[in-house]
Amino acid sequence: MDFKKSLLLLVVAVIPVIVYTAKAQSNTVYDPAPLDTIYPIQDDSAPALMALAAMYAPMENEAGWIKMVCAGMTEGGCAYLRDNQALGLWQSQSGNIGSSSGGFVADVKTIDEHAQVWKAQLTVFTPGKEATSDMYTLVRRDTDGRWYLDRILSGPDISLP
């Protein structure tokens, strides 16, 4: 009788393991494709707003920070930032723990169909507090129909040459 009980226990314990293993081997595994951009938000203003928020976000190295900011900027705007504003902004953001442009854009002034001045609201988070500021920006519509940051006209720690 002990042999029959042992055999029954072995069958009861082994069968579920075999079934589970067979089922696990037949599962489909998906390899997700990386995103094309760092701003998966489906909004025409997303690149500009993400660049604005990235300017005040902490990063470990300056080169990575500039690359992240410039991803949502025009080519000329990125060059202007590097040459005129990057050093001051990089030094000012080092104490921040985060930032948000919140998607809030008001008082849009249209220059032409491809350029606008935006008043955007930016919140910068530092340990124990947050500060909200109005930023005035020049944005340009690219051929993809999205708005990209071209210049920061005024805002925290922005110096104009």
84 within 8 A of 150, measured Cβ to Cβ: no
Q: Which two tokens stand for residue 27?
A: 């599962």
Burial class of 58 by CB neighbour count within 10 A (0 to 12, 13 to 18, 19+): middle
How many domains does the structure of the chain reveal? 1
The better pLDDT of the pair 161, 86 is held by 86
Residue 92 lies in a domain: yes
In degrees and rounded to multiples of 5, residue 142 shows phi and psi of -90, 180
Residue 1 lies in a domain: no
pLDDT value at residue 53: 81
Position 39 confidence tier, pLDDT thresholds 50, 70, 90? very low
Give the range of the structural domain holding residue 107, as residue numbers without chain letter.
46-154
Is residue 159, in this structure, part of any structural domain at all? Answer: no
Strands (E), 9-146: 98-100, 105-112, 115-126, 129-141
The first and second tokens of residue 100, run together, are 């948000």
Helix (H) or strand (E) holding 148, with range, is strand 147-154
Domain harbouring 66, CATH code? 3.10.450
pLDDT score for 75: 95
User: Which of 75 and 15 is assigned the larger pLDDT?
Assistant: 75
Q: Is the pLDDT of residue 102 over 50?
A: yes
Which one is predicted more confidently, 142 or 127?
142
7 vs 87: which has the higher pLDDT: 87
Confirm whether 93 is domain-assigned. yes
In a domain, 7, yes or no: no
- The shares of helix, strand and coil residues in the chain, as percent rounded to the nearest 5, are 40, 30, 35
Query: How much is the pLDDT for 1?
Result: 56
Q: Is residue 53 part of a domain?
A: yes
